[in-house]
């Protein structure tokens, strides 16, 4: 699949550059869109649309034999499809010129550190780096190792430990109380952030060691003081992709306010659908689009100290549909959350006791320290932040992270990343 996408977009990129007839250029772009989105749509969404169609027909007295297929989702297809699509779109818009070096282009599309889970790179930033001669650089190697260490800490200590707690709470067989589900959403919020940003740091770190610069994908999103700011800090490569290739082409902030709201809604619904072929992801994307519309409509002027908790609480609760197994599971959890009578500490005590109170207390202490470092980092990455410390301080931080990984890290779970499934 990656060979097909890369070959077609490489050829189309060259054709777009030499073709001056507007209708021909538009046709070439349409071919690129149809091929790439067609492949992505078939492998990722075919069963989803068939199942949805069957459910729709079940309302009416219509019997139609439409079965699903056992489709294996190609690894990284959501990421490299968007990456190669941005190349042809940018050439069509005459923002960049195509490369004639097919090896560099294939390397750009399939660059191994970020192939399976991003960050989603643009040709204008990464492709040209494959044309440069690389040599060992001690400074870049140190920077890469710092980022990798921070990424492994986030993944093994934070994500994989909180993942066990979140999985226990979001088990469909467990009739969780409202309080349990809310605490589960908090656990999952830390799990998914540490898991995905940890992967991004590892990918960026490996690339940096090879002399490649990849964009920062997260900037302490849980300290965002608005929903708009949250999306400027969370999965930056994806949010900017949807901004540049979906939201702005739809009209962006221009036109009537109703049109702007529609543009926001479409963008976030598609963003939700990108994450997974299920109505739960559409709900998650729709909720984020809705709060952004509300935020834009009422033009909130509250001081960020007062508005920040509102943003953090909503973002955390919105993880519930994201984590739900299906609509039935989501409905059960929402029902528990809105019924105050279901709030009980009993289940929480059972889940935590199964995890071990000593380990849980240690993990909470480490989490507080982790969030403290995140607060101090602000928009910097870990390499920039730790690089500003004195040498003795840097060494102490390195060893603290290594000991945390070895002593508190969870090595009992399968070493997979959440965004591998997308």
Q: Tens digit of pLDDT for each residue in 43-94? A: 888 777 776 666 666 666 666 555 666 777 788 889 999 999 999 999 999 9
Task: Residue 258: count other Cβ atoms within 10 Å of its Cβ.
Answer: 8
103 pLDDT more than 90 = yes
Which alpha helices (H) appear in 170-212, and where do they start and end?
178-209
- What pLDDT band is residue 379 in, cutting at 50, 70 and 90? confident
Whole-number percent of the chain with pLDDT over 90:
64
Lowest mean pLDDT among 325-334, 337-346, 391-400: 337-346
- What pLDDT band is residue 218 in, cutting at 50, 70 and 90? very high
105 pLDDT more than 70 = yes
341 pLDDT more than 70 = no
pLDDT at 45: 82
- What pLDDT band is residue 200 in, cutting at 50, 70 and 90? very high
Which of 224, 291, 300, 231 has the alpha carbon at shortest distance from 261? 291
Radius of gyration of the chain (CA): 23
319 pLDDT more than 90 = yes
Mind telling me the catalytic residues? 275
The mean predicted confidence, pLDDT, of the chain is 89
- What pLDDT band is residue 281 in, cutting at 50, 70 and 90? very high
The pTM is what?
0.90
Could you give the 3-state DSSP secondary structure of residue 47? helix
- Whole-angstrom Cα distance, residue 78 to residue 142? 31
pLDDT at 57: 60
pLDDT at 322: 95
- What pLDDT band is residue 241 in, cutting at 50, 70 and 90? very high
29 pLDDT more than 70 = yes
pLDDT at 348: 67
φ/ψ (deg, to 5) at 339: -95, 105
- Whole-angstrom Cα distance, residue 324 to residue 202? 28
- What pLDDT band is residue 418 in, cutting at 50, 70 and 90? confident
pLDDT at 118: 86
Mean pLDDT of the 140-167 span: 95
pLDDT at 172: 84
- What pLDDT band is residue 392 in, cutting at 50, 70 and 90? very high
Mean pLDDT of the 166-183 span: 85
Long-range contacts, 72-78 (Cβ 8 Å, 24+): 73/43, 73/44, 73/421, 74/1, 74/2, 74/43, 75/115, 75/116, 75/420, 76/2, 76/115, 76/116, 76/117, 77/1, 77/2, 77/39, 77/40, 77/43, 77/44, 78/40, 78/44, 78/274, 78/422
pLDDT at 308: 85
pLDDT at 61: 62
pLDDT at 64: 58
351 pLDDT more than 80 = no
Mean pLDDT of the 380-385 span: 92
- Whole-angstrom Cα distance, residue 247 to residue 262? 10
170 pLDDT more than 70 = yes
pLDDT at 60: 62
Q: Which two tokens stand for residue 124?
A: 């204008």
Mean pLDDT of the 369-395 span: 93
- Whole-angstrom Cα distance, residue 1 to residue 143? 34
More confident residue, 321 or 180: 321
pLDDT at 55: 63
152 pLDDT more than 90 = yes
345 pLDDT more than 80 = no
pLDDT at 401: 96
pLDDT at 300: 64
């Amino acid at each position: 699949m990656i060979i097909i996408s890369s070959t077609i977009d490489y050829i189309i990129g060259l054709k777009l550059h030499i073709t001056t007839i507007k209708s021909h250029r538009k046709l070439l772009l349409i071919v690129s869109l149809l091929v790439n989105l067609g492949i992505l749509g078939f492998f990722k969404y075919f069963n989803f649309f068939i199942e949805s169609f069957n459910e729709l027909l079940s309302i009416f007295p219509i019997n139609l034999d439409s079965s699903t297929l056992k489709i294996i989702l190609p690894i990284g297809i959501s990421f490299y499809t968007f990456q190669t699509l941005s190349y042809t779109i940018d050439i069509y818009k005459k923002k960049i010129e195509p490369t004639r070096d097919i090896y560099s282009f294939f390397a750009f599309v399939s660059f191994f550190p970020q192939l399976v889970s991003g960050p989603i790179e643009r040709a204008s930033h990464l492709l040209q780096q494959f044309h440069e001669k690389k040599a060992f650089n001690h400074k870049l190697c140190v920077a890469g190792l710092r980022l990798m260490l921070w990424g492994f800490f986030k993944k093994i200590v934070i994500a994989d430990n909180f993942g066990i707690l979140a999985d226990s709470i979001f088990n469909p067989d467990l009739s969780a109380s409202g309080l349990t589900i809310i605490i589960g959403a908090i656990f999952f919020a830390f799990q998914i952030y540490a898991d995905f940003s940890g992967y991004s740091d590892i990918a960026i770190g490996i690339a940096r060691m090879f002399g490649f610069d990849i964009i920062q994908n997260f900037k302490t999103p849980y300290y965002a003081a608005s929903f708009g700011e949250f999306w400027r800090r969370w999965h930056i490569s994806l949010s900017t992709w949807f901004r540049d290739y979906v939201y702005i082409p739809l009209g962006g902030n221009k036109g009537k306010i109703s049109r702007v709201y529609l543009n926001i809604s479409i963008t976030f619904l598609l963003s939700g659908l990108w994450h997974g072929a299920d109505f739960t992801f559409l709900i998650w994307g729709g909720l984020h689009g809705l709060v952004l519309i509300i935020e834009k409509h009422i033009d909130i002027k509250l001081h960020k100290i007062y508005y920040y908790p509102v943003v953090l609480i909503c973002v955390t609760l919105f993880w519930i549909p994201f984590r739900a197994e299906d609509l039935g599971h989501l409905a059960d959890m929402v029902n528990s959350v809105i019924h105050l009578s279901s709030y009980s500490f009993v289940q929480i005590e059972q889940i935590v006791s199964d995890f071990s109170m000593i380990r849980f207390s240690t993990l909470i202490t480490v989490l507080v320290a982790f969030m403290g470092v995140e607060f101090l980092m602000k928009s910097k990455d870990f390499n920039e932040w730790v690089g500003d410390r004195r040498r003795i301080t840097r060494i102490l931080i390195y060893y603290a992270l290594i000991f945390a990984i070895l002593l508190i890290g969870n090595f009992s779970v399968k070493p997979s990343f959440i965004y591998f499934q997308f």
